[in-house]
Structure 1
């Protein structure tokens, strides 16, 4: 057991900053037994961080239980597929299909809307490292206007599947069914309950957000760099002032009286 009696509070903080979270349980007892209140609080803080990590590990195990059952039944390659950008007034809808190695187990994977931008971008890189294969599909605003958003989304999903070099044995999909010979399982709220679908939603979200950053450079007055094309008050005000751009969805903005 470590003894912190001869160390200052600042020294203890610096010492702990160099340690990995996995080593915290070895440090906590001595910190909590220290007579100094500030040191005790450090121990309590580390204890909460350890508990939070354990809770997150359990959540990911539960989230992977759907995939685990299929792996145990003999399925080798599972593809998760999801879409982002169904609701915005501007920009494309984007889909991603991703086949992950069975041992992929990245903490904080979740529905992309529940993950901060910083963590989402970091997870995207990690998940692509874990991918056996992945592909992006997208449909622009004109196709969305022509087909309607549901059919356009399904087309983007089919396009992404057809782009894969490695085909999955099973497709897990968030609350949809698409035209494909690959067996598929539709899961309600799949992006919050299936690890593979959540991973796909994260990769698709990062890809689409990057596209909207590019569109922001072309049309800076609409705030695409932060609203991502969604109908915020600022975005709608800009539409009324400047009119629609070539990337706006006519079928979406017609109800705004523009």
Structure 2
């Protein structure tokens, strides 16, 4: 059987169909042309991917859903980025999502492409109940150590939401405050709130390091984001440290300045 539509027409119409019971889909499904069958296979594959992402999203809501049922309304997911680099701040984010927030594909920022992170960042900023970002500088990292500086950045992110948070979900960390909290190992892959905060923190820090790269082009910060790559170490040996940006307490930097 051959339908009255061209393959391109079928491809275009299928973009707007989401139901296998749609009369048009049923009609073209019986079209025996190889090109049409290929288009239908692609449609089915896309639908399956969408189903998988939807299931993943709702699976990652289980902690939030449990807390919402207990009466908590402002659940802050907290995560950080930048503990390992030799330069730049550690940046944390706290994100509070509403029960109707829906963003299939949201997960640990490290698993997302740059384009996806940027897109999700905009969606989260627009639709979250509240978003807070906190920073601890290289100088604070040197003063307190990276672990304590990370907690400092997280606490600032929580405060910068300007919301009375009543529960915290954190990525493998505990904070010394009075807010009830649950640390989750690999939380950015288990909780949508933590995943959202990981995206905000990652994109915020990437923007910071990209701007730093424009200011100090010889270091290539926009490429390595301050991590100890061979190019970064070569630039460090050649040009020395960037004051207030390089972490003097970190061994590769300390070795150069000593």
Flag the 1:243–1:253 CA change in 2: closer, same or farther, 3 A: farther
Residue of 5, 10, 13 corresponding to 2:11: 13
Conserved in 1, the CA contact under 8 Å of 2:76 and 2:158? no
Distance 2:25 2:254 in 1: 58
Conserved in 2, the CA contact under 8 Å of 1:28 and 1:47? no
Counterpart of 2:70 in structure 1 is: 73
Residue of 143, 146, 149 corresponding to 2:143: 146
Q: Specify the SS of the correspondent of 1:229.
A: coil
What is the TM-score with the length of structure 1 in the denominator? 0.91
CA deviation after TM superposition for structure 1 residue 29, in Å = 4.2
Counterpart of 2:80 in structure 1 is: 83
CA deviation after TM superposition for structure 1 residue 20, in Å = 3.0
Counterpart of 1:57 in structure 2 is: 54
CA deviation after TM superposition for structure 1 residue 25, in Å = 6.2
RMSD: 1.9
Structure 1 runs, 4 residues or longer, greater than 4 Å off: none
Equivalences, count: 254
Counterpart of 1:230 in structure 2 is: 227
Conserved in 2, the CA contact under 8 Å of 1:31 and 1:42? no
Q: Specify the SS of the correspondent of 1:250.
A: coil
Counterpart of 2:118 in structure 1 is: 121
Residue of 167, 170, 173 corresponding to 1:170: 167
Flag the 1:66–1:186 CA change in 2: closer, same or farther, 3 A: same
CA deviation after TM superposition for structure 1 residue 92, in Å = 0.5
Distance 2:75 2:237 in 1: 46
Counterpart of 1:135 in structure 2 is: 132
CA deviation after TM superposition for structure 1 residue 221, in Å = 1.8
Q: Specify the SS of the correspondent of 2:188.
A: helix
Counterpart of 2:188 in structure 1 is: 191
Conserved in 2, the CA contact under 8 Å of 1:56 and 1:108? yes
Conserved in 1, the CA contact under 8 Å of 2:79 and 2:170? yes
Counterpart of 2:18 in structure 1 is: 22
Q: Runs of 5+ in structure 1 lacking a partner?
A: none
